[in-house]
C-alpha cells in the first residue's frame, strides 16, 4: 500500500510538471515550432542526465537496449505528435486528447497478456470516444481536426512506450537511464529537422530562452517523476492518475490563456477521464 501511495504521489507530481511544460510550449508557440521544442528539451535532458551519470560513476550502457529502443522510438513519435497537438489546439483540448492513452494501454495490455477483451473494455473505449466528440464539437471553428488527430495518434503510440517503461522497471533499470536513452533518441531523431531552421539560440530573446528552459526543466523533472511512478506502481493505476494533468492543464488554460470552456466541453473532459478510470479498473480485475 505504501508503494502504491508513493507511486501515486509521483504521478500527481509528474502531471503537474507536464502541465507546466505544456504551458511553456503554448507560451512559446509563436516563436518555436513543435520539432524545435522536442530537440532542445531532449538535448538538455540528455546532457544533464549524462553529466549526472558521469559524476556518480554510473555507466549509461545497458543489456536491455532492445527494450530501451522500443520505448524510446515509440516515445519519440508520441512526443512529436503531442507537441504538435499542444501548438495546434487549446491546451485543455490537447491534453485531454493525449491522455486517452490509458484507453489504448488497456487494450495493449490485454493483447500482450493474450487475455480476452472484457465487454466493459469496449464500453470504456466507446465512452472515451463519446467524450472526445463532446470535447471537439464546440471548438471546430478554432481547433483543427489535424491537431485532434495529432493528439489521438500520440496517445495511442505512447501506450506502447508506457508498457515498456513498466518492463524496464520490472528489470530494475534505474529511471535516470530510461530517461537518458529516451532523450538521446529524441535528440537524434529531431536534430535534422530542428537545426535546418534559422532560429538558433544566439538569436533568442531573454523571453524565448526562459520559455525553452522552462520546457526543458519541467519536462526532465516530469519525465523522471513519471518513470518512477510507472516503475514502482501499477501500470494502469498510474495511467489513470495521469488524467490529473488534464485538470491542471484546464486550469492553466483558463487562467493563463483565457481559454473558454462551455458546459459541453467540460462534459467531454469528464467523460474522457471517467472512461480512462473505468478502463484501468476493468483491466486490473482478474479474469473469470
Res. 73 pLDDT band, cuts 50 70 90: very high
Please tell me the predicted confidence (pLDDT) of residue 99: 73
Question: Where are the domains positioned within the chain?
Answer: 2-284
Mean of the per-residue pLDDT values of the chain: 81
Which residues neighbour 89 within 8 Å (Cβ) at sequence distance 6 or greater? Answer: 97, 143, 144, 147, 148, 151
What is residue 203's DSSP assignment?
G
Helix ranges (H only) for the chain are 2-27, 34-55, 65-88, 91-98, 101-113, 119-136, 145-170, 175-194, 206-232, 235-241, 244-256, 263-284
Angle between helices 101-113 and 145-170 (to 10 degrees): 50
Please tell me the predicted confidence (pLDDT) of residue 258: 82
Please tell me the predicted confidence (pLDDT) of residue 51: 93
CA separation for the pair 4, 6 (Å, rounded): 5
Task: Examine the pLDDT at 286 and tell me if it is beyond 50.
Answer: no
- Residue 70: name the closest of 188, 11, 169, 157 by CA: 157
Please tell me the predicted confidence (pLDDT) of residue 263: 81
Contact 243, 99 (CB under 8 A): yes
Q: Stretch 40-67: mean pLDDT, rounded?
A: 90
Q: Stretch 84-99: mean pLDDT, rounded?
A: 84
pLDDT in tens, 199-211: 677 778 899 999 9
Give how far the C-alpha of residue 7 lies from the chain's centroid of Cα atoms, to the nearest Å. Answer: 17
Please tell me the predicted confidence (pLDDT) of residue 280: 62
CA distances from 16 to 137, 213, 234 (A): 27, 17, 20
Task: Examine the pLDDT at 284 and tell me if it is beyond 60.
Answer: no
Res. 254 pLDDT band, cuts 50 70 90: confident
Task: Examine the pLDDT at 288 and tell me if it is beyond 70.
Answer: no
Angle between helices 175-194 and 34-55 (to 10 degrees): 140
pLDDT in tens, 107-157: 776 677 665 666 676 777 777 777 777 777 655 455 467 888 888 889 889
Task: Examine the pLDDT at 187 and tell me if it is beyond 90.
Answer: yes
Range among 225-229, 238-242, 275-279 with highest mean pLDDT value? 225-229
Range of lowest pLDDT (79-88, 123-132, 181-190): 123-132
Q: What is the pTM of this model?
A: 0.79
What is residue 198's DSSP assignment?
S
Amino acid at each position: 500500500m505504501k508503494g502504491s501511495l508513493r507511486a501515486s504521489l509521483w504521478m500527481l507530481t509528474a502531471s503537474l510538471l507536464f502541465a507546466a511544460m505544456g504551458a511553456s510550449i503554448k507560451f512559446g508557440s509563436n516563436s518555436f515550432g513543435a520539432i524545435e521544442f522536442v530537440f532542445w528539451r531532449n538535448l538538455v535532458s540528455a546532457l544533464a542526465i549524462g553529466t549526472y551519470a558521469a559524476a556518480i560513476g554510473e555507466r549509461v550502457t545497458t543489456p536491455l537496449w532492445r527494450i530501451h529502443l522500443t520505448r524510446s522510438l515509440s516515445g519519440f513519435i508520441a512526443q512529436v505528435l503531442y507537441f504538435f497537438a499542444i501548438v495546434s489546439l487549446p491546451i485543455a483540448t490537447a491534453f485531454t486528447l493525449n491522455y486517452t492513452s490509458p484507453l489504448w494501454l488497456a487494450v495493449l495490455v490485454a493483447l500482450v497478456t493474450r487475455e480476452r477483451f472484457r465487454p466493459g473494455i469496449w464500453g470504456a473505449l466507446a465512452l472515451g470516444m463519446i467524450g472526445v466528440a463532446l470535447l471537439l464539437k464546440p471548438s471546430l471553428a478554432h481547433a483543427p481536426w489535424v491537431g485532434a488527430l495529432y493528439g489521438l495518434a500520440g496517445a495511442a503510440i505512447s501506450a506502447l512506450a508506457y508498457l515498456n517503461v513498466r518492463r524496464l522497471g520490472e528489470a530494475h533499470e534505474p529511471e535516470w537511464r530510461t530517461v537518458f536513452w529516451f532523450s538521446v533518441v529524441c535528440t537524434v531523431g529531431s536534430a535534422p529537422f530542428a537545426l535546418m531552421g534559422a532560429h538558433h539560440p544566439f538569436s533568442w530573446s531573454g523571453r524565448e530562452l526562459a520559455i525553452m528552459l522552462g520546457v526543458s526543466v519541467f519536462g526532465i523533472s516530469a519525465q523522471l517523476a513519471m518513470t518512477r511512478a510507472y516503475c514502482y506502481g501499477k501500470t494502469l493505476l498510474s495511467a489513470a492518475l495521469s488524467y490529473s494533468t488534464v485538470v491542471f492543464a484546464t486550469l492553466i488554460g483558463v487562467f493563463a490563456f483565457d481559454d473558454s470552456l462551455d458546459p459541453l466541453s467540460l462534459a467531454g473532459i469528464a467523460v474522457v477521464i471517467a472512461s480512462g478510470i473505468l478502463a484501468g479498473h476493468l483491466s486490473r480485475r482478474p479474469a473469470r
